[in-house]
Amino acid sequence: MAKKEKTTEENLVIVESPAKAKTIEKFLGKGFMVKSSFGHIRDLAKKDFGIDLNHNYQPQYIVSEDKKEVVRELKSLAKNADTVWLASDEDREGEAIAWHLSEVLELSQEKTRRIVFHEITKEAILSAIESPRAIDDNLVNAQQARRVLDRLVGFELSPVLWKKVKPSLSAGRVQSVAVRLLVEREREIFDFNAESAFRVSAIFTIDEGGKKSDFKAELNHRFKTLEEAKAFLNSCAGADFKVNSVVKKPSTKTPAAPFTTSTLQQEAARKLGFSVGQTMSVAQKLYEAGKITYMRTDSVNLAKSAVSAVASAITSEFGEKYVKVRQYRTKSKGAQEAHEAIRPTYPDNPSVSGSAQEQKLYDLIYKRTMASQMSDALIEKTTVNIGVGPEKHQFVATGEVVKFDGFLKVYIESSDQEEDEESATFLPAMKENDALTLKKLESRQRFSQKPPRYSEASLVRKLEELGIGRPSTYAPTISTIQQRGYVVKEDRPGTPRAYQFLWLEGEAVKHEERSEMANAERNKLFPTDIAMVVNDFLVSYFPNVVSYDFTARVEQEFDEIALGNLGWQKAIDEFYKPFHQQVEETLEKSDRTTGERVLGIDPKTGKPISVRIGRFGPMAQLGSSDDEEKPRYAPLTREQHLETITLEEAVKLFDLPRDLGTYEDKKVVVGVGRFGPYVRHDGKFASLKKGVDDPMTIDLDRAIELIEEKRERDNKKYIKSFEEDKDLQVLNGRWGPYISYKKKNYKIPKDTEAADLSYDDCLKLIAEGDKTKKTKKGKTSKTSGTKKTTKSASAGKKKGSSTSKTTKKAK
């Protein structure tokens, strides 16, 4: 620290991200020191909204706990610099960061320059330095309006939910709409009735001068009933088949735009199976290593220098005719385009070192970027119509031939739709009136598809489409709504469904019933009952705030503020006055809402059965609380919903716990507890497998299997213990081996074989662990309250590692 102060740099440049700072420092060279603010440095205080409602919404900003150190350092560096260059992003948030910096660092106007660039290239930086400007107060005000609005909505609505639904719930401009999308889709699925029809498919053979080729064709009509399908198959037996027409049509395919945050998240989910959070953290690694450009962006634009580098990479690899330089336009609402699209920093690097995940994601980004500057693919589509004797329906065969592959050479975008089993392929040459032989003919009953549930990535796409949320918040929003208990992400195995199958064997039509798994879901988002109750409450009392276009409407206002046409406080006032009124009225008028439904009378006891949300989630109640006898309660299973459960299903919930029999002379009982369905045996519990086992139907054999599996796991969990002290154990946990001692857990260094640890080794590790825990605690208690332990502890640790010499001296 002392050394830095001596060699005063004349210029201090402040950007948002440390990785960016490193790169830019290289471009600028001597006389420039480049530092980062690590994003926003101040935020509204939590107390009293951080907004003075009696004084024109005056915001109260405070430096966040984890930014104090950064601010201290920047302040001292700014003091010693001749010129401070505020180089945060050129969007609303970036402008606000520049303004907060100038306020907190007490920068004088003469000394301060605001510069912006949209790409991290030497030319862009140097030209930015050439044309500095002042901070745009209007843009800053637009950000203040955005911030204050979000705080007011979030901190007024959430407490209404605590009183009317359940404590600790949350509501907000973004998350509540995300939840609404899921709830409404789930209800569409509830209401969906699958219809079925019979598709007919055939395999024909054509004789091309002795060479026989087979190809597939499908009838251009679907039959409503089994009888109609049967009749048609019958009429095909022994019929003549001939080609009625052959139509060839050229078409082109164009590549997709380079990646933005949202499209990267979607493609990484589809092609690599990454969650949106995973994608972001792997991308962060690549970005920090200088391998890709910034990963939180809404822009599809590529730097000019990148486009030419990509073009020359394509030329050298595939030849000039594969190059087509293209400029893409951002389609998404509210895009602020402060950065480039996500692309390889060096487009001539087809691969990188790093973890398998990093390599895969880089490969995806590399190929997508390349493809975006490549030629269209030229396709020839062929449609062949085939007549069946005198029948009016025709068979249709479609073929696709790639005449020129273009961008398809490197990249094909995936889609969420499950592919039709037979996608178009190559067809043999045919002409009108060619005779065909029928090789195979079958018809199967197909059911219409219910509306698809959202995955993390498809929800992000929908939010982006509605202009809700930002690239930096997509992943956190998804995890917030899961943490609040509004959403669970899981697999559902589906249920077996019978379908009818017909085929032609010789001249005879055969028929059998077959079975398929229907409605299976993998890694999808399911709204909970809490989500449904909360959503209905918000929709009925605050329809304006949770409407799909609320964000779009306020964004228009923010734009007006940014243009200087509207005062931010006036805009907020116009929203807040009626909104606050709404809140007050709702608190007064609305009843507590529990989603209660009375299902009917239990045939066994004659008592009423109802369902509602209780303290611990959705449950069923048998009997009324006015009765002398206390009511019985039972939690709903994960697949059941308050609004769809039937009396019969609810009655069965009270059959639990169920006696399954005995195993090793001890009772085996199945029930549903706090952590879901379980099997109990000999005082031990084993959880039922989610989506596989059903507590209502599970049998003894399966229960024993679960008990044995649990035993196996428990055995593996235990590594060793010591005669000297029974409290000390070496165990296997989720993150590998650890030491457990007197209800506390301790880390084992990575290079140590856990099984080889001696008693003394363990004691040493425990002593070390206690030491670090104590020092952390010391620093925490100084700063603030209980809940912030993790945050301030990390701030404390950072301090320790970056300036370790000084801390040692201090001790």
Partner DNA sequence: CAGTGAGCGAGCTTCCGCTTGACTT
Residue 464 engages DNA in binding (rule: CB under 7 A)? no
Contacts of residue 687, defined as CB under 8 A and 6 or more positions apart, other chains included, come to 675, 676, 677, 678, 706
Q: Quick one: 211 or 674, whose CB is closer to DNA? A: 674
Residue 203 engages DNA in binding (rule: CB under 7 A)? no
Binding to DNA (CB under 7 A) within 326-385 occurs at 336
- Binding-site member from 9, 69, 73, 150 for DNA (CB under 7 A): 150
Residue 715 engages DNA in binding (rule: CB under 7 A)? no
Q: How far apart are CA 202 and CA 393, in angstroms?
A: 13
Give the residue among 278, 285, 263, 257 at the shortest CA–CA distance from 352.
285
What does residue 496 show for φ and ψ, rounded to 5 degrees? -70, 145
**DSSP output for 737-782:** EEEEETTEEE---TTS-GGG--HHHHHHHHHHHHHHHHHHHHHHHH
Active site residue 294: yes
* Cα angle 227-229-233, degrees, rounded to a multiple of 5: 115
Number of residues counted as binding DNA (CB under 7 A): 88
- Binding-site member from 32, 101, 107, 154 for DNA (CB under 7 A): 154
Q: Quick one: 112 or 176, whose CB is closer to DNA? A: 176
Q: How far apart are CA 239 and CA 390, in angstroms?
A: 9
Give helix 137-164 / helix 550-563 axis angle, nearest 10°: 150
Binding-site string for DNA from residue 725 to residue 764, where x marks contact by CB under 7 A and - marks none: --------xxxx-x------x-x-----------------
Contact criterion met (CB below 8 Å) for 719 and 737 = yes
What does residue 154 show for φ and ψ, rounded to 5 degrees? -65, -45
- As measured in angstroms, the least distance from the Cβ of 679 to DNA is 9
- Binding-site member from 13, 17, 293, 462 for DNA (CB under 7 A): 17
Q: Quick one: 16 or 434, whose CB is closer to DNA? A: 16
Dihedral over Cα of 735, 737, 741, 743: its sign: positive
Binding to DNA (CB under 7 A) within 604-623 occurs at 614-617, 619
Binding-site string for DNA from residue 778 to residue 807, where x marks contact by CB under 7 A and - marks none: ---------x--x--xx--xx--x------
Residue 578 engages DNA in binding (rule: CB under 7 A)? no
Q: Quick one: 44 or 135, whose CB is closer to DNA? A: 44
Residue 100 engages DNA in binding (rule: CB under 7 A)? no
Q: Residues in the chain, how many?
A: 811
SS3 label, residue 238: coil
Q: Quick one: 248 or 713, whose CB is closer to DNA? A: 713
Residue 669 engages DNA in binding (rule: CB under 7 A)? yes
Among 280-288, 489-497, 572-580, 753-761, which window interacts with DNA (CB under 7 A)? 280-288
Residue 392 engages DNA in binding (rule: CB under 7 A)? no
Greatest pairwise CA separation for the chain in angstroms: 99
Residue 59 engages DNA in binding (rule: CB under 7 A)? no
Residue 290 engages DNA in binding (rule: CB under 7 A)? no
Dihedral over Cα of 471, 472, 476, 481: its sign: negative
- Binding-site member from 6, 392, 592, 674 for DNA (CB under 7 A): 674
Q: How far apart are CA 263 and CA 660, in angstroms?
A: 50
For the record, the structure tokens of 107 come out as 């920068």
Residue 276 engages DNA in binding (rule: CB under 7 A)? no
- What CA–CA distances, in Å, run from 662 to 699, 701, 704? 12, 11, 10
- As measured in angstroms, the least distance from the Cβ of 163 to DNA is 8
**DSSP output for 78-122:** HHH-SEEEE---SSHHHHHHHHHHHHHTT--TTTEEE---SS--H
Q: Quick one: 40 or 409, whose CB is closer to DNA? A: 40
Binding-site string for DNA from residue 642 to residue 661, where x marks contact by CB under 7 A and - marks none: --------------xx----
Contact criterion met (CB below 8 Å) for 237 and 503 = no
- Binding-site member from 43, 549, 559, 649 for DNA (CB under 7 A): 43
Q: End-to-end alpha-carbon separation of the chain, Å?
A: 18
| Annotated catalytic residue, options 57, 294, 576, 746 | 294
Binding to DNA (CB under 7 A) within 61-90 occurs at 89
Bridge partners of 488? 526
Q: Quick one: 80 or 284, whose CB is closer to DNA? A: 284
Residue 248 engages DNA in binding (rule: CB under 7 A)? no
Catalytically active residues are 294
